Amino acid sequence: MTNNKLHYVCWYMTYYCNLNCEYCYAFKKRKNFDFEKFLSVGNELIEQGIRKVNLTGGEPFASKHLLNVVSEFYHKLDISITTNGTLGTVKHLSFLKDKIERLTISIDAINNDLGKILRSSNCDTNKILDFTKSAILMDFGVLPTTAGSQKQAGMQLRSHTGMM
């Protein structure tokens, strides 16, 4: 008999994203849910035996409930966050430290011009790289991803920050 039990889910904090990458499904308009909705979803996941969640979107840092969700569930779930790296701040990182397992950050370019071509005119690559560097310096587990390969993303990050 196969064990089909789910242990890990990607949990969309919002379908909205502040970048408008051509190739993406993310919505340009926000649809807001009450925090109570997030509470009931999180509790339902735990009841169903889920132990790991990846908070994603859209852009999870665009959700006003992201930090409250982490605060509410980090004792009960292993949490990671996937972000485009443009809205998170050092203040967010300080709050998330010791609460989440990993940050996955999309790094598609190491200069602004290329970032705007590959992603959208809203894309601020310097901000993404600064956020990534801060996360590494604060000892977060950071997984860089790219429209290319992870090896490429790692090389881009190393060459820009001299780290990793």
Can you read off the two tokens belonging to residue 112? 């602004």
Kindly state whether residue 24 participates in binding ligand SF4, applying the rule CB under 6 A. Answer: yes
Can you read off the two tokens belonging to residue 59? 């852009």
| Helix 66-73 vs helix 35-47: crossing angle, to nearest 10 | 40
Kindly state whether residue 119 participates in binding ligand SF4, applying the rule CB under 6 A. Answer: yes
Kindly state whether residue 84 participates in binding ligand SF4, applying the rule CB under 6 A. Answer: yes
Distance CA 15, CA 11 (A): 10
**Minimum distance from CB of 69 to ligand SF4 (Å)?**
18
Kindly state whether residue 108 participates in binding ligand SF4, applying the rule CB under 6 A. Answer: no
Whether the CA torsion 145, 151, 154, 160 is positive or negative: it is: negative
Number of other residues whose CB lies within 10 A of the CB of residue 111: 12
| CB closer to ligand SF4 out of 58 and 144 | 58
Nearest-Å Rg of the Cα atoms of the chain is 16
| CB closer to ligand SF4 out of 20 and 152 | 20
**Minimum distance from CB of 125 to ligand SF4 (Å)?**
12
Distance CA 149, CA 155 (A): 10
Kindly state whether residue 138 participates in binding ligand SF4, applying the rule CB under 6 A. Answer: no
**Minimum distance from CB of 3 to ligand SF4 (Å)?**
32
Among 12, 15, 21, 143, contact with ligand SF4 (rule: CB under 6 A): 21
Q: Which helix (H) or strand (E) holds 40?
A: helix 35-47
Kindly state whether residue 19 participates in binding ligand SF4, applying the rule CB under 6 A. Answer: yes
Kindly state whether residue 55 participates in binding ligand SF4, applying the rule CB under 6 A. Answer: no
